[in-house]
């Protein structure tokens, strides 16, 4: 039995990723379609950044061709070969371990994919698409990913500027609980900053923008948020501990000469480009001003940290992949071992029936004879089976399997 993976990922153009995205209904149809072919097992992993089909079977090369034809037929992309990647054997095994651990993601070390890998396995198992091989492969990959997450905590090193900014504030202020903040802007960065701040349980958050349309939607999603008229943005500065501003204004919106008398420590994150806050504001006593360059330095440093930790993650993956491949090589002899055991059972039953006809045995004697026959036959095959399992070279193992099949006419 071999394994392979065929699909597209975050390196593929978005217009192709959009076309090959699987709905739940399409996953059901897809797995059933694949199982009707020569494919023994199949798991579909479909996220916003990838559409991958993992398969296991005896004639893996033919199965790969069938998956590619499936993509063509199912999604009507005749030139799908120009976009899909194909990985076979150890490369396919390495791949799912890398994916589960977030080592093959657009954002290195992200851990959302781990839950998606587990969901893909569960979904396929429910449909009977994943069995002995892929069940073991995915479970081991998930276990390795959890180990990496627990030991290295790569995903806890922030990369986005807004999240790094909040971490910086938390580090400087000690705790953001019961603090007050002013957020200026209603775009993606401001919304993300608001989300992070609300998680820190602030007592009050003011939010303002030149137009109020988007602000109403934000307030509906978060409690303790008060919409402030844009013209009054300076009026609450002496009441807050934090200002986060990320507008698309082409000019300065916070000037030094308009700032009130600052009585408490004030931390300002200027996440806009061009900048929203006049540089001279940072000269005011008790004001701590940070712009994108300050946060990008931290983001770059964090990316370097993630890359360093990812090397350790690769070591863990390499070790665990070796264990899986060893298991996979051993189960290749399972059919032969099963046939040998079955032949022994047949001999034991025939011999026992013959003895039973020839001798007048009581119930106790029958049990003893039956156990002795089983034990004797097991002794005959025990060493050959043990030696067969310990063969490391694939070619030698294949040759022994062929010989045994031929000798015993399996």
3-class SS at 16?
helix
Q: Are 295 and 168 in contact (CB under 8 A)?
A: yes
Residue 205, beta-bridge partner list:
181, 225
Describe the chain by its helix, strand, coil percentages, rounded to 5: 60, 15, 25
Q: Which residues contact 201 (CB under 8 A, 6 or more apart)?
A: 176, 177, 178
State yes or no: is 48 an active-site residue: yes
How far is 394 from 410, CA to CA, in rounded Å? 20
Q: Give me the helices (H) in 223-291, please.
A: none
User: Which of the following is catalytic: 11, 32, 48, 378?
Assistant: 48
- Kindly report the three-state secondary structure assignment for every residue of 39-88: CCEEEEEEECCEEEEEEEECCHHHHHHHHHHHHHHHHCCCCHHHCCEEEE
Task: Sort residue 76 into left (φ over 0), alpha (ψ -120 to 50) or beta.
Answer: left
Q: Would you name the residues annotated as active-site residues?
A: 48
């Amino acid at each position: 039995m071999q394994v392979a993976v065929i699909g597209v990922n975050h390196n593929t153009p978005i217009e192709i990723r959009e076309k090959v995205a699987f709905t739940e209904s399409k996953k059901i149809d897809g797995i059933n379609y694949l199982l009707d072919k020569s494919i023994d097992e199949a798991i579909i992993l479909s996220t916003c950044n990838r559409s991958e089909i993992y398969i296991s079977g005896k004639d893996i090369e033919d199965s790969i061709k069938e998956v590619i034809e499936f993509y063509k037929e199912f999604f009507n992309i005749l030139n799908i070969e120009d976009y899909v990647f194909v990985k076979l054997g150890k490369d396919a095994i390495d791949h799912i371990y890398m994916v589960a651990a977030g080592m093959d993601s657009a954002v290195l070390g992200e851990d959302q994919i781990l839950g998606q890998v587990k969901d893909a396995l569960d979904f396929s198992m429910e449909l009977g698409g994943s069995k002995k091989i892929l069940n073991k492969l995915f479970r081991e990959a998930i276990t390795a990913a959890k180990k990496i997450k627990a030991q290295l905590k790569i995903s806890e090193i922030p990369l986005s500027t807004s999240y790094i900014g909040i971490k910086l504030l938390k580090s400087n202020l000690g705790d953001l609980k019961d603090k007050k903040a002013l957020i200026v802007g209603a775009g993606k960065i401001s919304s993300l900053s608001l989300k992070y701040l609300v998680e820190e349980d602030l007592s009050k958050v003011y939010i303002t923008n030149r137009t109020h349309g988007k602000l109403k939607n934000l307030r509906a999603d978060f409690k303790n948020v008060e919409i402030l008229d844009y013209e009054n943005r300076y009026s609450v500065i002496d009441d807050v501990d934090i200002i986060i501003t990320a507008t698309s204004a082409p000019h300065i919106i916070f000037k030094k000469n308009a700032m009130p008398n600052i009585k408490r420590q004030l931390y300002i994150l200027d996440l806009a480009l061009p900048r929203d806050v006049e540089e001279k504001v940072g000269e005011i006593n008790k004001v701590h001003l940070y712009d994108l360059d300050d946060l990008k330095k931290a983001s770059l440093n964090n990316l370097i940290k993630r890359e360093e930790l990812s090397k350790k993650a690769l070591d863990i993956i390499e070790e665990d992949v070796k264990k899986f491949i060893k298991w996979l090589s051993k189960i290749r002899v399972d059919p032969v071992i099963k046939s040998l055991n079955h032949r022994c059972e047949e001999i034991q039953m025939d011999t026992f029936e013959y003895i039973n006809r020839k001798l007048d045995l009581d119930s106790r004697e029958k049990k003893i004879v039956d156990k002795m026959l089983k034990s004797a036959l097991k002794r005959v095959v025990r060493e050959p089976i043990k030696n067969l399992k310990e063969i490391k070279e694939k070619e030698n193992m294949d040759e022994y399997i062929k010989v045994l099949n031929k000798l015993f006419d399996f």
